[in-house]
Structures are given as structure tokens and as C-alpha cells.
Structure 1
Amino acid sequence: MASITFENVVKSYGDVNIIKGLDLEIQDKEFMVLVGPSGCGKSTTLRMIAGLEEISDGKLFIGDRVVNNVHPKDRDVAMVFQSYALYPHMSVFENIAFGLRLRKMDKTEIDRLVNEAAETLGLTHLLDRKPKALSGGQRQRVALGRAIVRKPSVFLFDEPLSNLDAELRVHMRAEIANLQKRLGITSVYVTHDQVEAMTMGDRIAVLHDGNLRQVGTPLDLYDTPQNVFVAQFIGTPNMNILKMKVSDDGSELSHPDITIKTPDRWKAGVSERKGGQVIVGIRPEHITDTDDHGWANTGKIKAKAEIVETLGHEVVVHSRMDNEEKPVVAKMDVHRVPKIGQELVLEFNADKIHVFDAETSERL
């Protein structure tokens, strides 16, 4: 059993709290992704699992064992770092076998395990090469092989694809996800790239400023963000955010030049804030510049196009409303590309909005 459990775990450096009371359970054989902006504490969390950082308070379990004071080598975890950390003077075979030789394992068993890992990762024909003769993706597979060959209870990945080009990253993230499924080893993967998180993880834990903001499946986070931070962090492009006024009877939400009926699913929460304000989130895919959409409840936005990103299959348009600091971002049909400076009348699907408390930023 290789579940991982954080019970009110705190990590401090002097008076600075990096992790502020983390409660998180990672299930056996699960692929958990820790995601968040730089400095949020995700790599520190990973290093605490590995034993490379001491825990200031709370308990960390691997399986049923508290590992707060267990030496890294005795935790049965393997870590793949951002840098490949391969020995340049050693062959691929020697790099993969290095940890096994330190354990003074039988040579025949080392040969068997290394060849088995090499076959799994498609490295068999490269075993005699030195790292300098390998591509970036091949080097990353060697680093994976060095971890796999140990047959650990837990895999830890610290932004392992950040040094690769975009096309290779897409290929390698699929390889890592498929490999984890085949091996069935509990895995914790750190990234700041939310696309990487969405495509790889069974579940995602979103960290911000040392706090766990939400944990759930990729669709949970996308469809039901629990606060404004998660709503804007998950999804590309970011969710649009507007402050809107609640009518005195709670039936409408309004912003200068915008008025919509309060959708049924938000009426209970909105009615508690009659006459006040709420934060409304709108995904770019729920905004269009045409009335050919079939939406029952819509709102209109008048804005001027500022940036037009043509992506081939769609166009992402950033436009500016009067008296708004942030642009409104919409996904449009590639055959309806507006010009920079063009005045637009956009419509959004009001039944797809997300509503958050104006003071706490938490979902209603």
C-alpha cells in the first residue's frame, strides 16, 4: 500500500511559512499532479515526500508509516528531476544501473532489471551510448529508467519536461502517463503548466501561496472551480472575471451596459446578496460575436478588439470594455477574424457563468 497522506503539514523557514497546514491524501496507484504558480510550495511539498526537506509540523504518511524522520533512502521513493542529472562519463546502461550497483545487487539481476527497463522505455538500442550522444527526450527516458529500475513504491516528478521543446513535451507527457498506468505505481508530478496537469493527472491539487485551494479530477476543477484563483488558473485562455451588481430582488445581475437574468442554479446564493456585488466568471468558449448560438439566456458585451491570436482551428480575441483594466477574451470562429481596433458586440451564455462571493472569492 503506497498511499501518501499529509496531515496538517507545515513547512517553515524561520518565520516564513512555505506550506501552511496541508491536508491531502494521495491514493495508492494514483497519478496526482501538484500545480500552481512559481513559489506556491509545490516543489517543497514533493521534496518533503522524498525526505529532502524536513517537516516543521504535522505528519506525513507513506502507506501506514509516519515518515517525518525516516531517511530518504529508506522511504522507497524514486525521484526524476528537472535536470536529467545523468553521469556524462557513463553509458546509458551504467546510468540506469548506478543505483542498483550501490546496493551491491547481483550482476545478473542488475542486467535483467536494466534490460527490462530499457525495453519498456525503448532504450535497448541506446544502452552503449553516452548521454552526449542522446536527444533531450532520450535523456529524459534514461532518467525515467534509473527511477523505474528500482521498482519503488512511489514515483516523484519535479517538472521533468520543462527543458524540452513544445512538441517533445507533448510526446513525453503521454509516455509518462501511459508508463505510470502500466506500472501502477503511485506518482506525484509537479508542474506549473496547467495544460500538462489537465492532460496527465488522475487528480490535480492546486496550490497557491502555501495553501491547497482545490483538489479534484481535471473536469472537477474546470467545471466546478471552488474559488476565483482556481477558476482563472485552470483553463486556457483564462476565465474572464467581472464584478456585477445583484438587483434588489436577486433576479438580475448587472454591469455597466450588461444585464442578465440570474441563472436558476445560482438563485439561492445570489438571493443572499441582494443589492450587493458578486464576482462572475465567463469562459472564453462561452462568448461569441454571432447570435447563431441557440442560447436561451444571454448577455451582451461591447468591446474593442486589441489582440487577435489566430490558432488555425480557432481565433482567440482579446478586447477591451470601457473602464475595465483586464481584457475580455473570447474564442471565435476562424472565418470571422476581427481587425485590431474593431468595435465588437459579443454575446455570452449566461447559463454557463460561474458566480463567486465578492469578498471571499469562494464559489457560491
Structure 2
Amino acid sequence: MASIKFDKVVKSYGDVNIIKGLDLEIKDKEFMVLVGPSGCGKSTTLRMIAGLEEITTGDLFIGERRVNNVHPKDRDVAMVFQSYALYPHMTVRENIAFGLRLRKLPKDEIDRLVNEAAQTLGMAHLLDRKPKALSGGQRQRVALGRAIVRKPSVFLFDEPLSNLDAELRVQMRAEIGKLQKRLAITSVYVTHDQVEAMTMGDRIAVLHDGNLRQVGTPLELYDTPANLFVAQFIGTPNMNIAKGTLSADGAEIQLPSGKFAVPDAWKEAAKGAAGKSVYVGFRPEHTRPGDEHEWKNTATLEGSVEIVETLGHEVVVYVAVEGMEERVIAKMDAHKVPSHGDRIKVEINLERIHLFDGDTQERM
């Protein structure tokens, strides 16, 4: 078993808490993605698993073993870094074999393992080249090969694709995902890119300011965000958020742009918060012109077009609505592109809205 468990883990530097009591379980053979903005503590969390950062308080388990004081080399983990960390004077073969030579494995065993890893990654023809003769994607494969060849219990990835161009990132994240499934090794992947997180993870742990804000499958985070931060962080473009107030009986929501009846799915929650402030969330794909949907229960917004982003198959439009602090983001048919300054009406699918408490910002 190579499950990983954080039990009330705190990491501090002096008086500054970077990780604030983390409770998280990563299942055996799971691909867990840690995601969040810069400075949220995700790389620190990864480095604690690797043993590169000491835990201030709490316990960390890999399998059944408490590893707080276990040396990094004895944890049976392999880490792939953002910078590749290849030795420039060594060939690909020598880079991949380096850790095995340190462990003093027999030469024929080292050769077998290196060749096996190279075949797995489709780079057997590159074994005699040096890193300077490789592309960014090829260097990343070498870094993966060096991790694979050790046959660890846990793979750790620290933003390994951030140095690659957009097309190569898409290709490499697919390859890493396939590789992890084939090898069935517990993997923890750190990224600040929520698209990367959504496409790669079995589950995603969202960190913010040293706290775990939500953990779940990509669809769970997208469809039922636990709080306002997750709602706005997960999804591209961002979820629209509007501040509103529930009526005294909890039956209606008043927004600066108008009011509407609380949808059936939220009636119980709204009744319990009657008269209080709320945040109403609605995603761009649930915000469209009236002639581009067949929704039954809608609210209409009107405003001026400020930004138009043409994506080929659709258009993303940013609309300034009077009384609302943020522009409303709507998706439209690519063949009906409005112009900057146009007055347009868009409708919200009220059956797909999200409600968050106005004080705690937690899902109601």
C-alpha cells in the first residue's frame, strides 16, 4: 500500500504558518492534483512528502509508516522537478541510471531498467544524446525516466510542464496520465493551472492560503464548489458572482440588476437564511442570449459589451451590467458576434445557479 495521509499537519517558518493543519488522504494508486494560486502551500506540501521540508507539527504517513523523521532516500518516492534537473555533462542513459548507480545495483540490472524505462517513454533512440541536444519535451521525458526507473511507491510532480509551450503541455499531460495509469503508482501532482488539474486528476485538492478548501473529483469541484474561492478558481472562464439579498421570507433574491424567485433546489437553504446577504454564482455556459437556449426558468440581464473573445466554436463576451461590480461573462454562438459597445440581453439559467453565504462565503 502506498496511500498518503496528512494528519493535522502544520508547516511554519518562524511565526508564519505556510500549511495550517492539513488533513488529507491520498488513496493507493490515485492521481491526486494539488492546485491553488502562487503561495498557497502546494509545493511545500509536496516537499513534505518527499522529506525535503520538515513538518512542524502533525503526522505524515506513507502506507502504514509514519515518515516525519524518515530520510528522503528511505521514503521510496521519486520526484520530477519543474527545472528537469538533468546533469548537462551526462548522456540520457547516464542521467536515467544515476540514481541506480548510487544504489550500487549491478551493471546488467541498471542497463535492463534503463532500457525498459526508455522503451516505455519512447526515447530509446535518445539514450546517447546529452541534454543540450534535446527539446524541452524530450528533457521532460528524461526526467520522467529517471523517476520511473527507480520503481518507487510514490511519484511526486512539481509543476513539471510549466516550461513547455502550450501544444507540448497538452501532449505531455496526456502522456503522464497514461503512464500513471499503466504503472499504477500513487502520484501527487502540483500545478497552479486549473485546466491541467481538471484534465489529469482522479481527485483535486484545492489549497488557498495554507488551508485545504475542497477535495473531490474534477466534476464534483465544478458542479458543487464548497465555497466562493473554489467556485471562482475552478472553471474557465471564471464563474460569474453577484452579491444579492434574500427576501424576508427567503422566497426571492434581490440583485442590483433585478430580482427573481429562488429556484426549487435552493428553497430550503434560502428559507434558513431569509433576509441575509448571499453570493449568486452562475457559469458563463449558463449565461446566454434568449435565442440560444431552451431553458424554462431564467433571469434576464442587460448591459454593454466590453470585451469579445472569439474562440472559433464559440464567443466569450464580457458584459458591463449596471449595478454589478464585475463584468458578466456569457458564451454565445460564434456566428452571432456582438461588437464592443453593443447593448445586449443575456439570460441566466436559474436551475444551474449556486448560492453562497454572504458572510462565510461557504456553499449554502
Q: TM-score, normalised by structure 2?
A: 0.99
Partners of 2:291 and 2:250 in 1: CA distance: 27
Q: CA deviation at 1:292?
A: 4.3
SS state at 1:285 partner:
helix
**Letter aligned with residue 353 of structure 2:** I
Partners of 1:258 and 1:174 in 2: CA distance: 45
**Letter aligned with residue 124 of structure 1:** A
SS state at 1:171 partner:
helix
Would the aligned equivalents of 1:261 and 1:297 in 2 still touch at CA under 8 Å? no
Partners of 2:136 and 2:359 in 1: CA distance: 47
Would the aligned equivalents of 1:291 and 1:347 in 2 still touch at CA under 8 Å? no
Partner of 1:68: 68
Q: CA deviation at 1:324?
A: 2.6
Matches within 5 A, 1:78-227: 78-227=78-227
**Letter aligned with residue 185 of structure 2:** I
- 4+ residue runs over 6 A deviation: none
Q: CA deviation at 1:204?
A: 0.2
Partner of 1:269: 269
- Once the two structures are superposed, what CA deviation does each residue of 1:197-239 show, in whole Å capped at 9, x if it has no partner? 0000000000000000000000000000000000000000000
1:50 maps onto 2:50 in alignment: yes
Which ranges of structure 2 fall in alignment gaps of 5 or more residues? none
- Once the two structures are superposed, what CA deviation does each residue of 1:77-133 show, in whole Å capped at 9, x if it has no partner? 000000011111111100000000111110000000000000000010110111111
SS state at 1:291 partner:
helix
SS state at 1:37 partner:
coil
Q: CA deviation at 1:15?
A: 0.4
- Once the two structures are superposed, what CA deviation does each residue of 1:338-363 show, in whole Å capped at 9, x if it has no partner? 10011111111011000010000000
Partner of 1:4: 4
Partners of 1:104 and 1:278 in 2: CA distance: 63
**Letter aligned with residue 244 of structure 1:** G
Partners of 1:353 and 1:119 in 2: CA distance: 49
Question: Which 10-residue stretch deviates more, 297-306 or 252-261?
Answer: 252-261
Partner of 1:352: 352
Question: Which 10-residue stretch deviates more, 48-57 or 259-268?
Answer: 259-268
Partners of 1:122 and 1:58 in 2: CA distance: 42
Partners of 1:171 and 1:360 in 2: CA distance: 40
Partners of 1:324 and 1:362 in 2: CA distance: 21
Matches within 5 A, 1:242-321: 242-321=242-321
Question: Which 10-residue stretch deviates more, 284-293 or 305-314?
Answer: 284-293
Partner of 1:15: 15
Q: Using a 3 Å threshold, how does the CA distance of structure 1 residues 292 and 164 change in structure 2: closer, same or farther?
A: closer
Partners of 2:286 and 2:44 in 1: CA distance: 37
Would the aligned equivalents of 1:48 and 1:54 in 2 still touch at CA under 8 Å? yes
Partners of 1:40 and 1:25 in 2: CA distance: 18
Percent of paired sites with the same residue: 74
Partners of 2:180 and 2:27 in 1: CA distance: 14
Partners of 1:86 and 1:275 in 2: CA distance: 60
Partners of 1:159 and 1:293 in 2: CA distance: 39
Question: Which 10-residue stretch deviates more, 20-29 or 258-267?
Answer: 258-267
Q: CA deviation at 1:325?
A: 2.6
SS state at 1:336 partner:
coil
Partners of 2:138 and 2:360 in 1: CA distance: 47
RMSD over aligned CA atoms reads: 0.8
* Residue-pair matches, total: 364
Would the aligned equivalents of 1:7 and 1:58 in 2 still touch at CA under 8 Å? yes
Q: CA deviation at 1:275?
A: 2.1
SS state at 1:96 partner:
helix
Partners of 2:132 and 2:69 in 1: CA distance: 38
Q: CA deviation at 1:323?
A: 3.1
Question: Which 10-residue stretch deviates more, 328-337 or 175-184?
Answer: 328-337
Which ranges of structure 1 fall in alignment gaps of 5 or more residues? none
Q: TM-score, normalised by structure 1?
A: 0.99
**Letter aligned with residue 326 of structure 1:** E
SS state at 2:112 partner:
helix
